[in-house]
Chain A
Amino acid sequence: GENVEQHPSTLSVQEGDSAVIKCTYSDSASNYFPWYKQELGKGPQLIIDIRSNVGEKKDQRIAVTLNKTAKHFSLHITETQPEDSAVYFCAAIKAAGNKLTFGGGTRVLVKP
């Protein structure tokens, strides 16, 4: 089955700096890669996603890149703000209706 690894497990950045989280996946058939933000005591919220036919996607301060050959994808958060502090999960999936495989999560702390 699919295996997704996520690094780092914790990340502390100064407000205004950039944060980068990296994930690798094992199944080359995976073709959809969402990123979720989970705040304490809440369910995960989708913040950005990318499909395998796209190399990069950006939404304001958030961007995701995908390297299919190397089977890794990354989340980039620029101009970090204290409200970006949360746990971020990457995930991979092969087809709609199938189960998501999650990475282990990254706890991001943005220091004011």
Chain B
Amino acid sequence: GAVVSQHPSRVICKSGTSVKIECRSLDFQATTMFWYRQFPKQSLMLMATSNEGSKATYEQGVEKDKFLINHASLTLSTLTVTSAHPEDSSFYICSASGTGVTNYGYTFGSGTRLTVV
């Protein structure tokens, strides 16, 4: 089946630094990648949608200069949290959809727990 690998699973960084999260589709071509943020005991909140080779489309209220998304290949998308602050601490999850899976296949990564100290 379709597998999405997300790394790192946990990261702790100092306030003001940047953190990069990677999301790879291992056995299919991810034409579309979605990035979510999840606060404790809450649902997934879509941050942005990216299509391979195109600029990401950000949801209302999400700062595109703070959450940089790159989707340069059909198997890799990255989310960079720039100048991280404690309020950016959260669980970040990617999801991929594309060719090689069932028509509506949306496969999720395992998530990244970001803690900014």
Contacts and interface: CB of A to CB of B under 8 A. Distances in A.
A10 B46 CA distance: 23
Interface of A: 32, 34, 36, 41-46, 49, 51, 89, 93, 96-97, 99-100, 102-105, 107
Interface of B: 4, 6, 31-32, 34, 41-44, 46, 49, 91, 93, 95, 97, 103-104, 106-111, 113
Contact of B43 (A49, A97, A105): A105
A51 B104 CA distance: 10
A51 B103 CA distance: 11
B43 A43 contact: no
Residue among A89, A93, A96 having the largest count of chain B Cβ atoms under 10 Å: A96
13 contacts: A34-B104, A44-B44, A49-B104, A89-B43, A89-B44, A96-B97, A97-B31, A97-B97, A99-B34, A99-B49, A102-B43, A105-B42, A105-B43
Given A96-B97, A96-B103, A42 B111 contact: yes
